[in-house]
Amino acid sequence: MSLHLENIKEEFKPIFYPDSIAVVGASNNERKIGTLFLKNLLRSGFPGKLYPVNRGGGNILGLKAYPNIRDIPDPVEYVIVSIPRAFVLDLLDDCAVKGVKIVHFFTAGFSESGEKEGARIEEEMVRKARRGGFRIIGPNSAGIYSPAVNIPFAPDGVLGEAGSTAFISQSGSLGVRIILSGIACGLHFSKGVSFGNGSDIDSLDFLEYFAQDPETELIGFYVEGLKKGRRFFRLVKEISNEMPIVVWKGGVTEAGAEAAFSHTAALAGSVPIWRAVLKQAGAVGVESLEEFVDTLLAFQHLPFLGGRGVTIVNGLVIGGGGESVTAADTFINFGFEVVPFSDEVKRNLDVLLGQVGTILRNPLDLNAAYGNVELIYRVLKTVSTDPKVHLIIIQENIDILLANGIKEVGSFFLRLVQNLSKPVVVVLEQGSAEAERLAAVKELSKAKIAVFPNLERAAKAIANVNYYFENKGSGLHLLSHRS
Amino acid sequence: MSLHLENIKEEFKPIFYPDSIAVVGASNNERKIGTLFLKNLLRSGFPGKLYPVNRGGGNILGLKAYPNIRDIPDPVEYVIVSIPRAFVLDLLDDCAVKGVKIVHFFTAGFSESGEKEGARIEEEMVRKARRGGFRIIGPNSAGIYSPAVNIPFAPDGVLGEAGSTAFISQSGSLGVRIILSGIACGLHFSKGVSFGNGSDIDSLDFLEYFAQDPETELIGFYVEGLKKGRRFFRLVKEISNEMPIVVWKGGVTEAGAEAAFSHTAALAGSVPIWRAVLKQAGAVGVESLEEFVDTLLAFQHLPFLGGRGVTIVNGLVIGGGGESVTAADTFINFGFEVVPFSDEVKRNLDVLLGQVGTILRNPLDLNAAYGNVELIYRVLKTVSTDPKVHLIIIQENIDILLANGIKEVGSFFLRLVQNLSKPVVVVLEQGSAEAERLAAVKELSKAKIAVFPNLERAAKAIANVNYYFENKGSGLHLLSHRS
């Protein structure tokens, strides 16, 4: 990929892998944002050096505090700032003297406030950064997320396992929600950022970096509006040839767009324009937090399916007639084909299951299997031989499994998905035993199996994956744009 | 309402309030369906008499077992049957002699099997019931659900709290899922049934009964196909003028319809026909288990809103900018109006919140409230005075609440919704702390507050409630049908 920042990997290293972090504005007041940032870095086990900076000096959370960043005896790479606006320009002069590399401003009240003075100071900040040889994240930014080196996200300090999905969120609080939902469903992030006002480093710089990051294989982008539409289009198009970009556009309705303008001063653009741009650029557009997270999860675990034929297997314990009916509806509504089984597969299923209480068609209601894991496995092996089947969906409800003696739900499904020749997705429906469900999701996620809480979310997410691969590099998205 | 069965309430009383139940086919084999039914009735505390019937006699689960139903010394009102098909006709002769009122056949292998012999026996069963003066539920039926007298549903034995929503499900296993999902979200059922083949009492008889049941205020109906389309239309139209009927139609796609035919031999009807019929009859059509349960929940707790104006309040703890943007998108996409606040409301909000860090528009990002429950309450009081606001939606994530010291999540929201002059819905988003979330949902449900796990599900469900009330009795549904 020929992207225009040659040295972006080197330049962004101190953002996601800093040797040392100073927190300006940390204090012994537990409710201060700076204190929260510092506390979370300590708690999460950030392996580098940490320096509280507070005019009063003294001791903060067991660490020696320095009255000024210049007083820190060792080099400082990354600075987190949460102090009133009035002090930020002086701080940047100190940062220049100290030779820091990155300054992240949580502090708000700049261009996004709509006030002239705020916008003026923001411009001056960027000038100081250019002159001082460092870069700025924000202002008005929740900051970065780097689980590989235990840097949690935002003052809330959310931290999950490290993985291969990067996210960029124009909203800090949605960033928190993206990580929380991700943790719950087994989605693991390589890196993340909420770029705030993007005065210096903006969303597209992060996009460009993530595309080159060896830890990242997939990018999720929550955007309210962009200052540089052309660069966005060119970048997304280029990156989409290499890895999927899932874009959730906030502010697609008039009221949403108004809220977006107040939120980050972003011009939202019209819905039809956005849709056309995303489609032509080869990005995958989504419309809710759930679809965003689900789609990333599906990309994380599924390969290119090579077709739209699915088989749905349910009633693993005690009857799934209605589930078969509605499962077929759901997947077909999202563009899949619930293909008829080949005669050979039907013959083999008949041997395995007999016809009593079981309907030997796709969706396959196992009715008579009563949780017999070896029998179900042989059934899955059989349907996976059908050349028209590109994906197997196994569906059951957590409460029904538990009530029928299947207590090790994760192991149960792991046994079922072993060495199948087709990709598998598990729909483990929610009931009342959510803790057990989440434990099973975690276990399956480690084995690279995507688990969804219901059929609709599964179908929507997998359809998005299919859409991407069907259009990738084939020029098909250009055709469909013209149509 | 003038429905054609005058004495239906009296006739159906032994179905949902039986004095005594005999279980034919219970044994000391724990895996037998009859044993499961008996065990669940014992465990749930059914207050009436219970009689195992087993050719071997003896003692089953601590109860004296009778070789034949006629051997039971006391009267028997309700009989649950799970014995092979070959024995059912003789059993019905015994039932006639015994003078039972209702016989429920779990046993399958009749008309739904497609075999002539099965269909012939089923017809003969109905003739025997007519002659014997009793009624049949099923065959191929999971049975009834009557939480008021601790009758759990299906051999799985699902039992939740009693409430005011009745359900009818053509699928037994979906019936189980409906109850499980209902329990998790605070939906409480008055009664329920899966009618199986409906050889004698069919779905529409139950529909008619539920419409007259004093415990029922709302009906949910999962249907794959109907034998009597005209009666369905007439009944639904009549009942819809009195109470909402939520209809989830399975088998709307070709593959779904094929599966439905195998499942219950039901002719599914085409999608456009179904949509038109439901609309003209004033029913609320839904398309997934989640939408079905969510819509029933919204009906259970919400009155007629009188308009589509909503306000969304979020960022209760620590910032909700992105949530505001996407919340507006979601509700507008479902036909709501995210109305601008009146000048008076804006002035009052300004006094309460000031403008720093808070955007005084709808959706209202409370950013600066930091979980201050009294401040948030005053804000809700203020926005509820806006004449354009018909519904208030409060949105927060469970993990964010807990991480910020709000441990009593149920109490927190209960304090917020007290004595507001407008209806309120809570969107309590899922994170990792699902047990705490479900506990809060339960607490709020007792206070008649509907809680949804995300904005999209909330918006869809509430839009369905609005649709019903906007069209109810007004003739508007006829107009929209013509358009």
| B65-88: pLDDT as tens digits | 999 999 999 999 999 999 999 999
Q: A206-219 pLDDT, tens per residue?
A: 999 999 999 999 99
| Per-residue model confidence (pLDDT) at position A368 | 62
| Per-residue model confidence (pLDDT) at position A473 | 66
| Per-residue model confidence (pLDDT) at position B418 | 92
- The least confident of A300-309, A367-376, B431-440 is A367-376
| Interchain contact, A259 vs B363, CB within 8 Å | yes
Q: Please state, rounded to an integer, the average pLDDT across all residues of chain B.
A: 90
The dihedrals phi and psi of A174, each to the nearest 5 degrees, come to -70, -30
Confidence of residue B156 (pLDDT cuts 50, 70, 90): confident
CB-nearest to A290 from B108, B181, B454 is: B454
| Interchain contact, B176 vs A400, CB within 8 Å | yes
Q: A81-138 pLDDT, tens per residue?
A: 999 999 999 999 999 999 999 999 999 889 988 889 999 999 999 999 999 999 999 9
A260, pLDDT greater than 70: no
> Length of chain A, please?
483
| Interchain contact, B323 vs A359, CB within 8 Å | no
Confidence of residue A320 (pLDDT cuts 50, 70, 90): confident
Question: What mean pLDDT do residues B324-337 have?
Answer: 92
Its pTM stands at 0.85
Q: B118-139 pLDDT, tens per residue?
A: 999 999 999 999 999 999 999 9
- The least confident of A45-59, A247-261, A285-299, B389-403 is A247-261
Cα–Cα distance measured from residue B207 to residue A130, given in angstroms and rounded to the nearest whole number: 73
B388, pLDDT greater than 60: yes
Residues 6+ apart with CB under 8 A from A483: none
| Per-residue model confidence (pLDDT) at position A479 | 37
In chain A, the residue whose alpha carbon lies closest to the alpha carbon of B430 is A181
CB-nearest to A328 from B157, B222, B253 is: B253
Within 8 A of A259 by CB-CB distance, chain B residues are 321, 324-325, 328, 359, 361, 363, 365
Residue to mutate among A311, A325, A360, A429, with most B CBs inside 10 A, is A325
| Per-residue model confidence (pLDDT) at position A166 | 98
Q: B285-298 pLDDT, tens per residue?
A: 999 999 999 999 99
Confidence of residue A3 (pLDDT cuts 50, 70, 90): very low
Query: Beta strands of A320-423 (E only): which ranges?
Result: 337-338, 364-365, 391-397
| Per-residue model confidence (pLDDT) at position B482 | 31
Q: CA separation (Å) from B193 to A100, A238, B303, B464? A: 69, 56, 26, 23
| Helix pair angle (B321-333, A172-185), 10° resolution | 70
Q: B26-45 pLDDT, tens per residue?
A: 999 988 999 999 999 999 99
Within 8 A of A173 by CB-CB distance, chain B residues are 315, 318-323, 400
| Per-residue model confidence (pLDDT) at position B115 | 85
Residues 6+ apart with CB under 8 A from B436: B398, B402, B409
| Interchain contact, A431 vs B184, CB within 8 Å | yes
Within 8 A of B359 by CB-CB distance, chain A residues are 259, 262-263
B475, pLDDT greater than 50: no
B479, pLDDT greater than 50: no
CB-nearest to B359 from A31, A263, A430 is: A263
Residues 6+ apart with CB under 8 A from B220: B165, B166, B167, B168, B178, B245, B246, B248, B292, B295, B296
Question: What mean pLDDT do residues B274-290 have?
Answer: 88
CA distance A67 to chain B (A): 27
| Interchain contact, A288 vs B454, CB within 8 Å | yes
| Parallel/antiparallel/unpaired status of strands B337-338 and B364-365 | unpaired
Nearest to B429 by CA among A179, A144, A162: A179
Query: Beta strands of B9-85 (E only): which ranges?
Result: 20-24, 49-53, 59-60, 63-64, 78-81
A173, pLDDT greater than 60: yes
Within 8 A of A320 by CB-CB distance, chain B residues are 173
- What is the predicted ipTM? 0.76
| Per-residue model confidence (pLDDT) at position B471 | 86
CB-nearest to A173 from B323, B330, B338 is: B323
| Per-residue model confidence (pLDDT) at position B225 | 79
A477, pLDDT greater than 50: no
CA dihedral A26, A31, A32, A38 (to 10 degrees): 40
Q: For residues B252 and A276, which has the higher predicted lDDT (pLDDT)?
A: A276
A357, pLDDT greater than 60: no
DSSP string, A264-284: H------HHHHHHHHHHHT-E
